[in-house]
Structure formats: structure tokens, C-alpha cells
Amino acid sequence: MKGRIHNFNAGPAVLPLPVLEEIQAELLNFKGSGMSITEVSHRSKWFDEVIQDATTRVRRLLKLDDSFRVLFLQGGASLQFCMIPMNLLPDGQSADYVNTGSWATKAIKEAGIQGKAINVVASSEDKNFSYIPKDISFSRDTAYVHITSNNTIKGTQWASFPDTGGVPLISDMSSDIMSRPFDPSLFGLIYAGAQKNLGPAGVTLVIIREDMLERVPRGLPTMLKYTTYVDHNSMFNTPPCFAVYTIQLVLKWLEETIGGLEKMEEVNREKAGLLYKAIDESGFYKGTAEKESRSMMNVTFRLPSEDLEKQFVQQAIEHGLGGLKGHRSVGGCRASIYNATSLEAVKALVDFMDEFVHENG
Ligand SMILES: *Cc1c(COP(=O)(O)O)cnc(C)c1O
């Protein structure tokens, strides 16, 4: 492959080209420091400006008020599965979880390992996680409600967030953060591994409402307490500097090139609309998620046979379209169309899909 491909990988995933170019341009000498951003001290003014700017942009893009703290952690979204109950679910109380797929299942498991009281108040497992449950009744006095806003593997997404009657909502937004605006006041905590929609792997964005911090038990190990990161501006120990820097550039691109989350959502809707239309009108491809639960980020579909799916993925690569194989746990095909996936890339995919039907349909 000589040039860059249209990259539909689920994660790590495509980054905006201008961001990669900016990284390339300043890799050897970051802002006159005479060093790469990977070589400067995390206590230097150079990195301090990076992490401050990244934080400010997160706040501005998501319209967070002063009650929220923005943190950059390590350990992936997967570490949050255990940190959330460890920090925010006091003994003697229980928490509600909605099971919408593989990642939610893992979050539930990690709470269970700790002997925490968990209620799975709704699940879409009965139909292979192809939909988002509706009309859920949450438990009384639950400590929080945990959901997965976008189900990367199953290709479903919450179109709107559930009414929890004032109970703090916690969401794993790893694969749809910054893809659309939402009302942050519903949330006690939001987390997202960066490698889908924000930047490279190695950093997790955590947004936590200050009142949640009162729940953090004293006896936890330092590195596993949210308060440690709050008290030290995410720099209790060395943060993943390069990953934070890349996030800063992605957020700058979102604000200055795209024009914010309303605009981003418009583009994302257009991209997803084109792809689902191609699937629905083909009489050949079959979407795996129920229509009203379809994800704008991960479009999952099947072909009439597994042989055709293999052939589809292989021929797509020859057309410069990569990453279309479904997750190993579910098979089929998946096009991940995150923020950085251009409309042009989606159009190229749709053209290829049409052509493939003509040849094989
Ligand atoms: C990718 C993903 C994860 C896992 O993230 P890691 O950073 O690898 O731990 C968790 N939840 C969702 C929704 C994901 O898409």
C-alpha cells in the first residue's frame, strides 16, 4: 500500500490527517523547545500548556460547568470497569447496570469480582444485544446507573439517555464521546478510552462530578483513587504525555476545523445515513442492529454467507478500504466511522459495496 487507506478500524482507529501532519511537523522540535514532546518533562511549561489546553477544550466542547473535573488516566476504559465500583459504590448500597453488550458485560463482571451489589436492571442479551432496552425501571436508592452509550462490537447506541430520576448516570463513552452534543448534567461520571474517537491508545478521559468524590473510600491504593488525579491535575505520576498531546490536537481540530459537536453530529449523521441506506436498499447486506438502536459510529452488517464476507473484506482491502472485519466474537462486517472518518471515505465504501453487490448479488 503506497498511500493512506480509508481506515474503518474499530480501535485504535483513524485520526484526522491534519492532526497527524501537525504531529509530524513538530515531532523533532516542539514549539522551540529543541526537543520532541515525547522528550520534555511532564512538569515543563511545554507539557503544562498541552494538558491545560486539552482540559479547557474538553470543557468547552462538552459544555461542562465548574462542578466537573476533567482527568487523564491510564489503564484504558477497562480499568474504569473496576475503579468505578471501587470508588463510587459504598458498601451497603447497590448500583444499577444496563447490559447492552460485551463491554457492559465486562463492567458488570468487574463490579461483581469486588463483591459489590449490582442489579442488572435491563439487558438486550435475549436478542444477541441487537437493541437498546427501553422503559427501564431503575432501583430505588441505587448509587448510580451504569450504561454503555455506544456498543462498539454490536453496533448499537443510545439515541437519548434514560431518565434515572436524578440518580447519577455513569457512561462508558469510549466509542462515541465527542460525536454529538449531550446534556452533561445527567452524569456523575463519563469515561472514554481515547483510541476510538479522541486520540491514540494509552490514555482514558474521565469526567467526574465533584460531589461523586465524596464517596471515594480512604483505604484505596493511591493510584486507584479518583481523588489522587483530581488533587494532582492528572499528574500524580507521569501522565501519557504523547497521548494527551494528540488528544489536544484532535480537540483543536474538532473546534477549529469542524466547528464543534453540533457540526460533528451533522457530519456523523450524514455518514451513517449513507451507509445504512446502502445496506437497506441492497437486498444483499443485512444490518445486525435494530433500526432505532443503530449506532452512528459502528455500522455492523452481514452478507449472505461467511464466504462472501471473507471475500468482501479481502476485496475491500484491495480497494484501499481497511478494517471492515467484524469483531472476532461476532463475525460479519463492521465499518467504524468515527469523527475522523471523512465523508469521502464513507462514499468510497458505499461505491465499493454497490459494486460488490453487482458482482456477487
Ligand atoms: C474499546 C472499548 C473498551 C475497552 O477499552 P480499553 O481502553 O481497551 O480498555 C471499553 N468500552 C468500550 C465501549 C469500547 O469501545
Interval between CA 48 and ligand 1 midpoint (Å): 27
Residue-level pLDDT at 33: 96
Report the phi/psi class of residue 144: left, alpha or beta, with left for phi > 0 and alpha for psi in -120 to 50: beta
> 52: number of CA atoms within 13 Å, CB side?
7
Q: What is the spatial distance between Cα 151 and Cα 299, in angstroms, rounded to a whole number?
A: 10
Active-site annotation holds for 141: no
Q: Confidence class of residue 1 from pLDDT cuts 50, 70 and 90? A: low
Query: Is the CB of residue 234 below 6 angstroms from any atom belonging to ligand 1?
Result: no
Interval between CA 155 and ligand 1 midpoint (Å): 14
Interval between CA 2 and ligand 1 midpoint (Å): 30
Interval between CA 86 and ligand 1 midpoint (Å): 19
**175 has a pLDDT exceeding 90:** yes
Residues whose CB falls within 8 Å of the CB of residue 152, separated by 6 or more in sequence, listed in order: 10, 11, 103, 174, 175, 196, 297, 298, 327, 336
Range(s) within the chain of domains with CATH label 3.40.640.10:
19-257
**41 has a pLDDT exceeding 90:** yes
Query: 176-215, pLDDT tens digit by residue?
Result: 999 999 999 999 999 999 999 999 999 999 999 999 999 9
Active-site annotation holds for 46: no
Query: Is the CB of residue 175 below 6 angstroms from any atom belonging to ligand 1?
Result: yes
Nearest CA to ligand 1 atom 12: 174
Q: Confidence class of residue 330 from pLDDT cuts 50, 70 and 90? A: confident
**294 has a pLDDT exceeding 80:** yes
Active-site annotation holds for 158: no
Taking residues 116-124, report their average pLDDT: 97
Taking residues 138-155, report their average pLDDT: 96
Q: What rounded mean pLDDT belongs to the chain?
A: 97
Considering only the top CATH level, what class is 260-360? alpha beta
Residue-level pLDDT at 184: 97
Atom index in ligand 1 nearest the CA of residue 149 equals 13
Taking residues 49-72, report their average pLDDT: 98
Give pTM, 2 decimals: 0.97
Query: 4-25, pLDDT tens digit by residue?
Result: 999 999 999 999 999 999 999 9
Residues whose CB falls within 8 Å of the CB of residue 229, separated by 6 or more in sequence, listed in order: 71, 72, 73, 206, 236
Q: What is the spatial distance between Cα 81 and Cα 78, in angstroms, rounded to a whole number?
A: 5
Mutate to test the pocket of ligand 1, among 152, 204, 329 (most ligand atoms within 8 A of CB): 152
Mutate to test the pocket of ligand 1, among 9, 72, 78, 147 (most ligand atoms within 8 A of CB): 78
Question: Among 154, 99, 82, 121, which residue's Cα sits nearest to residue 298?
Answer: 154
Choosing from 96, 116, 154, 172, which is the catalytic residue? 172
**319 has a pLDDT exceeding 90:** yes
Query: Is the CB of residue 174 below 6 angstroms from any atom belonging to ligand 1?
Result: yes
CATH T-level assignment (fold) for domain 19-257: Aspartate Aminotransferase; domain 2 (3.40.640)
Residue-level pLDDT at 329: 83
Q: Are 315 and 356 in contact (CB under 8 A)?
A: yes
**34 has a pLDDT exceeding 70:** yes
Choosing from 96, 116, 158, 196, which is the catalytic residue? 196
Query: 206-226, pLDDT tens digit by residue?
Result: 999 999 999 999 999 999 999
Cis? peptide before 90, omega within 30° of 0:
no
Residues whose CB falls within 8 Å of the CB of residue 182, separated by 6 or more in sequence, listed in order: 62, 161
Q: Confidence class of residue 328 from pLDDT cuts 50, 70 and 90? A: confident
Q: Confidence class of residue 124 from pLDDT cuts 50, 70 and 90? A: very high
Q: Confidence class of residue 2 from pLDDT cuts 50, 70 and 90? A: confident
